[in-house]
A and B are shown apart, each in its own frame.
Chain A
Amino acid sequence: MATITYRHPDGSTTVLDVPSGSNVMRGALANGVDGIEGECGGDGICATCHVYIEQCPVAFPPVDENEDELLDCTASPRRDNSRLSCQLPITDELSTLVVLLPEKQV
């Protein structure tokens, strides 16, 4: 399980405990967190679960070719710390994570 802090563009935050085996997108969707659309349900095809990673103590799987292509199409600008949150698994090693949500997803 990991404690994930979702920082909204307006400065507010949502803090959630998300179980291992889930991912950063699913954690947000399942709890109705605004700011992550996840239109494709995590299939890695829609680029609407974009986040900026602000603090992360463990290394996530690297950006693959598909995610790289999608990150070039996000509605808010891509930065060095941009990821698709459906590609960020929650593992037992991950204890805390802070992500900033972009201004828009669509």
Chain B
Amino acid sequence: MAGSPIVIVGAGQGGMQAAASLRDAGFDGPVTLVGAEPQPPYDRPPLSKQYLNGEVDAAALALRTPAFYQNQDIDLRVDTRVAGIDRANAAVVLDSGARLPYERLILATGSIPRRLPVPGADHPGVLVLRTLAQARVLRDRLAAPRRVVVIGAGFTGLEVAAAARSAGHEVTVIEALDRVLARAVSVPVSEHVTRLHRGRGVDIRFGRQVEAIEGEADGPLRAVRLAGGESVPADLVVVGIGVVPDTALAAEAGLAVANGVVVDAYLRTSDPAIHAIGDCALFPSPFADDPLRLESVQNAVDQAKCAAEFIAKDGLAARPYSAVPWFWTDQYSDKLQIAGITTGHDRTELAGDPEQGRFSVHCFRGERLVGVESINRPAEHIKARRQLAAAGTLAGAV
């Protein structure tokens, strides 16, 4: 496909990897990588971890040096917004009106934080954390002592809570469900993480609905008001209630969209000239009965490699996407790692000792091992990934 231009929309981990992997796979035509954010692709996970607590600065987050893009002849366009996709003429239209013709297009548009639909949620003291710019604001606000209220006990919310608490702030976590990470992990792991936070002095309140965020219109925040009249004083609110896939461009272009851009096993959208990868893609997986949409570095990177190989080889000897999903989070000095998809398990087996803070939960559905969650047992995690990969290959071969 020499000479046929490839455009990648979205310069996050997935978009960057797709560009790099196209070159690795020998593609020598034009590659354009378009990103809306002002800086070149950077490492997002540390934003709620090492960046927030000051261990690393923004410069250290760059995924590749400027020289890399030059040497690999990747046309990186930061601070560039895409207005639409003109499928009839196979071109990406930029906000500026400029057009980028493509032979193949890769959508790596990622996801957007879900907004809290309550009065006061637009107060400047209410933050979300997704981008470096947002992380910078949060880090600056945490420079002075604060009463921090985190809304949502998901991964991002809890990582922010851990970082803020470690820095000495007063931290309250408000969660609508009855346990932390309820949609992501098994009960024993939820319980461990809850103990960890409470042991450090984080006030976690379950089963609470946020009714409003109160504060002066042009002044400080006052409190988070909960249903039932409870009020939690706050100087700073961080909303971590999940993300939604950024499917706007795909939907406007008439591609099939559900909870994500619908793709096939080769990550092609309903238009075979367009792939979608990473957070925005809804894909079939050997590790789940229903189509999956995953928000993880692993998923973005592995899907980028899969799509790049498909495109570089023009679909010849193409391999369906079948990487084992895995994920990790740091909470204080504890490391939680998940291999496989553990949601929907009906039975668990415990290995190790939760009292010692080192254990794994093996999650089964029927007889099948669907995933393993590990606390401070990295070797178990790696073993689990290999085991799931072998089982997945077997299942795929049948």
* A, B assembled together: yes
Q: CB within 8 Å of B: which residues of A? A: 21-22, 26, 29-32, 34, 39-41, 43-47, 66, 69-70, 72-73
How far apart sit A22 and B43, CA to CA, in the bound complex (Å)? 14
How far apart sit A1 and B177, CA to CA, in the bound complex (Å)? 49
- Rounded to whole Å, the gap between the CB of A26 and the closest CB of chain B is 7
B43 lies within 8 A of A41 (CB): yes
How far apart sit A34 and B378, CA to CA, in the bound complex (Å)? 24
How far apart sit A29 and B42, CA to CA, in the bound complex (Å)? 12
Task: Say what secondary structure dominates the interface of chain A.
Answer: loop
How far apart sit A82 and B60, CA to CA, in the bound complex (Å)? 25
B72 lies within 8 A of A45 (CB): no
How far apart sit A43 and B68, CA to CA, in the bound complex (Å)? 23
In the assembled complex, B137 has its CB within 8 A of some CB on chain A: no
Q: Which of A26, A32, A44, A69 contacts B60 (CB 8 A)?
A: A26
How far apart sit A22 and B57, CA to CA, in the bound complex (Å)? 11
In the assembled complex, B247 has its CB within 8 A of some CB on chain A: no
Q: CB within 8 Å of A: which residues of B? A: 20, 24, 43, 45-46, 49, 60, 62-65, 67-68, 71-72, 297-298, 301, 328, 330, 335, 337, 377-379, 381-383
Task: Say what secondary structure dominates the interface of chain B.
Answer: helix
- Which residues of chain B come closer than 8 Å to A46, judged between CB atoms? 378, 382
A41 lies within 8 A of B64 (CB): no
Q: Chain A: which residue is nearest B377 at the CB level?
A: A69
- Rounded to whole Å, the gap between the CB of A21 and the closest CB of chain B is 7
- Rounded to whole Å, the gap between the CB of B376 and the closest CB of chain A is 8
Leading 10 A-B pairs by shortest Cβ distance: A73-B382, A69-B379, A30-B65, A45-B378, A73-B379, A32-B68, A41-B43, A70-B378, A30-B64, A45-B328
Q: Which of A32, A34, A40, A43 contacts B64 (CB 8 A)?
A: A32
How far apart sit A72 and B46, CA to CA, in the bound complex (Å)? 26
- Which residues of chain A come closer than 8 Å to B328, judged between CB atoms? 40, 43, 45
A41 lies within 8 A of B46 (CB): yes
B383 lies within 8 A of A43 (CB): no
